[in-house]
Amino acid sequence: MDLAGQAITILAVVVGALTTHFANHLLERQKMRHLLLTRWDERKLETYAEYIDAVRTCIYSSVMLYETRTGLSTGQQAETSLTEQLTDAEGARSRAFERVMLLAGERVIEAAHLVNAATKAIDWRARGTTDGPLEEWRELNREAFRSINRFHESARADLGVLGEFQGADHSARALILPESRREGQEPVGGE
Q: Where are the domains of the chain?
A: 43-172
What are the distances in angstroms from CA 22 to CA 10, 27, 28, 38, 147? 18, 9, 10, 24, 49
pLDDT of residue 16: 86
pLDDT of residue 114: 97
pLDDT band at 15 (very low <50, low <70, confident <90, very high): confident
Structural Rg of the chain based on CA atoms: 28
76-96 per-position pLDDT tens digit: 789 999 999 999 999 999 999
pLDDT band at 103 (very low <50, low <70, confident <90, very high): very high
Q: What percent of the chain has pLDDT over 90?
A: 54
Kindly give the interhelix angle for 79-103 and 106-127, rounded to the nearest 10 degrees.
170
pLDDT of residue 166: 52
149-165 per-position pLDDT tens digit: 999 999 999 988 887 76
pLDDT reading at 170 higher than 70: no
What are the distances in angstroms from CA 59 to CA 8, 38, 115, 119, 123? 75, 32, 11, 7, 7
Which of 98, 97, 111, 93 has its CA nearest to residue 154? 111
What are the distances in angstroms from CA 54 to CA 17, 50, 88, 134, 191? 55, 6, 10, 24, 31
pLDDT band at 184 (very low <50, low <70, confident <90, very high): very low
Which of 36, 164, 45 has its CA nearest to residue 104? 45
Cβ 63 vs Cβ 27: under 8 Å: no
pTM of the model: 0.70
pLDDT reading at 145 higher than 90: yes
Non-local CB neighbours of 51 within 8 Å, separated by 6+ positions: 93, 96, 97, 99, 100, 112
Q: What is the largest CA-CA distance in the chain?
A: 111
Cβ 48 vs Cβ 155: under 8 Å: yes
pLDDT reading at 182 higher than 70: no
Mean pLDDT of the chain: 84
pLDDT of residue 35: 65
Cβ 44 vs Cβ 158: under 8 Å: yes
| Rounded Cα–Cα distance for residues 48 and 38 (Å) | 15
pLDDT of residue 181: 42
pLDDT of residue 9: 86
pLDDT band at 140 (very low <50, low <70, confident <90, very high): very high
Instruction: Read off the pLDDT of each residue in 27-40 and give the average, rounded to a whole number.
Output: 72
Which of 112, 141, 134 has its CA nearest to residue 179? 134
Instruction: Read off the pLDDT of each residue in 30-43 and give the average, rounded to a whole number.
Output: 73
Cβ 62 vs Cβ 70: under 8 Å: no
